């Protein structure tokens, strides 16, 4: 299958699950992803202590969840964000996002071709979305174009790990057995939630992703894993 066809297939899948996406996410993560997202925002503000910020861009923004956390954590710290922009190729997801956050700007676009000016974003984030970008390395190059020198790219993702043992076995059981069943019940689309563990298994380790970011012009300033290494946070500076 050509990369364009594969990417469109993924976009179509997200269009179908858009109405139940937020509900499924909260249930499947048992709400723990909220703490991951807040920590990503707080650390980014520490590594990039500027105020005001001209623009935060959230790529693969889905229904806008991460944008909401950026705004909430910025408000807590007294940081003014002049413009919040969400970018996603799924019209279904953006329709939900626009209802939730009518004051934010949403753009229908792929991660590899973002219609924003060069060096225009202080921070660019992508949460649980880079795994779904078929031409990932091209996307990282595009992120480097959009982010200002010294600005940050903030990535939350389910990365592959090569560890063994009981905790790893428990994680695999949850991802391959329980998650597809619950996600399928909520969304009425089990195939979409079977895609998730399959996409993780075929994805990168955290160190491999950092190498790709380096090749695109970023320097990692922070990397940590959460909850039995289910989720990884990478913060990298545009050099």
63 marked as binding residue:
yes
Measured CA distances, 13 to 20, 22, 53, 189 (Å): 12, 15, 34, 9
Q: How far apart are CA 65 and CA 207, in angstroms?
A: 26
CA gap 235, 53 in Å, rounded: 17
Cβ neighbors of 61 (< 8 A, separation 6 or more) are: 67, 86, 87, 88, 93, 94, 97, 106, 129
Distance CA 39, CA 80 (A): 18
SS3 content of the chain, % helix, strand, coil (to 5): 50, 20, 25
Cβ pair 183, 196 in contact under 8 A: yes
- Name, in order, each residue with C-beta under 8 angstroms of 60's C-beta and a sequence gap of 6 or more: 87, 88, 111, 126, 127, 128, 129, 130, 132, 133
Read off the DSSP letter of residue 53.
Answer: B
Does the annotation place 176 within a ligand binding site?
A: no
CA separation for the pair 64, 101 (Å, rounded): 7
Closest CA to 33 of 169, 234, 237, 232: 232
Is 127 annotated to bind ligand? yes
Is residue 58 within 8 A of residue 146, CB to CB? The reply is no
Binding residues for S-adenosyl-L-methionine: 63, 88, 127
Binding residues: 63, 88, 127
């Amino acid at each position: 299958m050509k990369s364009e066809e594969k990417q469109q297939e993924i976009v179509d899948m997200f269009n179908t699950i858009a109405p139940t996406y937020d509900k499924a996410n909260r249930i499947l993560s048992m709400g723990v992803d909220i703490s991951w997202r807040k920590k990503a925002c707080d650390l980014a503000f520490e590594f990039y202590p500027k105020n005001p910020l001209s623009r935060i861009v959230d790529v693969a923004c889905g229904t806008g969840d991460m944008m909401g956390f950026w705004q909430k954590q910025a408000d807590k710290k007294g940081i003014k964000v002049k413009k919040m922009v969400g970018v996603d190729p799924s019209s279904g997801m953006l329709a939900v996002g626009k209802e939730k956050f009518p004051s934010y700007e949403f753009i229908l676009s792929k991660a590899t071709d973002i219609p924003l000016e060069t060096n225009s974003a202080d921070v660019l984030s992508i949460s649980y979305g880079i795994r779904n970008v078929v031409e990932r390395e091209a996307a990282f190059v595009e992120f480097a174009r959009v982010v200002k020198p010294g600005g940050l790219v903030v990535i939350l993702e389910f990365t592959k790990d090569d560890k063994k043992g009981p905790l790893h076995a428990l994680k695999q059981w949850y991802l391959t057995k329980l998650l597809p069943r619950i996600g399928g019940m909520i969304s009425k689309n089990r195939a979409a939630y079977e895609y998730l563990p399959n996409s993780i298994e075929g994805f990168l380790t955290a160190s491999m992703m950092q190498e790709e970011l380096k090749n695109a012009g970023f320097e990692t300033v922070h990397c940590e894993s959460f909850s039995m290494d289910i989720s990884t946070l990478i913060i990298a500076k545009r050099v």
